[in-house]
Amino acid sequence: MNIAIVTGGASGIGRAIATALVARGDTVIVTDINAPGAESVAERLNTLGRGRALAEGLDVTDAEAVATLYKKVHAEHGRLDLVFNNAGIAIGGLAEELTLDHWNRAIDINLKGVVHGVQAAYPLMLEQRSGHIVNTASLAGLVPMPMGIPYTATKHAVVGLSLGLRAEAASAGVKVSVVCPGFVDTPLLANINPGLPETPMSGDGRAQIKKQAGGFYTVERLARDVLRGVARNEALIVAPATGRTAWRGMRLSPKLAVRAAQFAATRYRREHHGR
């Protein structure tokens, strides 16, 4: 039985990972800025009759709150085995459609939220000489993805952070993986740029993304892929197969990958701006 923390656990990928962990018998602290949502998820997971779920409200942009919670979990359970720094938001729109508010929100949640989780968990795991940190990035962290470059930039940063930390942590008994999902069916797709200045992708980003992706992977299948990758201590967990294909294409020919992204951006600009 593992002791695990999952951020962004009230919905989407976080909820699916928390569900898979409890289903196999782990104790999971489900955290989310939406505290009632986290509580609802925990209550449902506790009906599975296997592991156990606890709920905590948590704003990952608050470094002190993150550190306090992680230390509390470690103190109460005597260890911290798994941390899924998963909370994130989507940003959609061309660079000229976005404001500094879009950039700052993406950096605060998608990047600094992961940094805060790492800073809170890593010292505890170094002390116990065990543990696994799993950071959620995106396929956008591996390939050039337009119409949301604040999101793309932060996810590239999470990939670099994770791989660099993995190299440092290996000799100390701590494992680090980064999850890079392709297009997964989550609430983020339906609500792009929440509470931020609107762009043509605001409100119905799902339709725009579906046009680019052609279809979505389920969070349940992704959760299985993630736990399989964690069990194998994979550095990069890339799913689904279409995402792995895109990643291979980027490695084989960055020039062609950029051209494909350029085509998508040109089509979007023509459809929404007539040029």
Which residue in 122, 151, 217, 268 is the catalytic one? 151
Q: Give the tokens for residue 257.
A: 């990958």
In degrees and rounded to multiples of 5, residue 119 shows phi and psi of: -60, -30
CA distance 47 to 19: 11
Helix ranges, 81-175 (H): 100-106, 112-128, 149-169
The strand pair at 82-85 and 52-57 is best described as unpaired
| One-letter amino acid of 11 | S
- 122 assigned to active site: no
Type and span of the H or E element at 22: helix 12-23
Three-state DSSP class for residue 7: coil
> Within a 10 A sphere around the Cβ of 255, how many other Cβ atoms?
7
The whole-angstrom distance between residue 160's C-alpha and the CA centroid of its chain comes to 14
What is the torsional sign of CA 48, 18, 209, 94? positive
CA distance 123 to 34: 27
> For the sheet containing 52-57, what is the strand order?
52-57, 27-32, 3-6, 82-85, 132-136, 175-181, 236-239
The whole-angstrom distance between residue 90's C-alpha and the CA centroid of its chain comes to 10
> Catalytic positions, please?
151
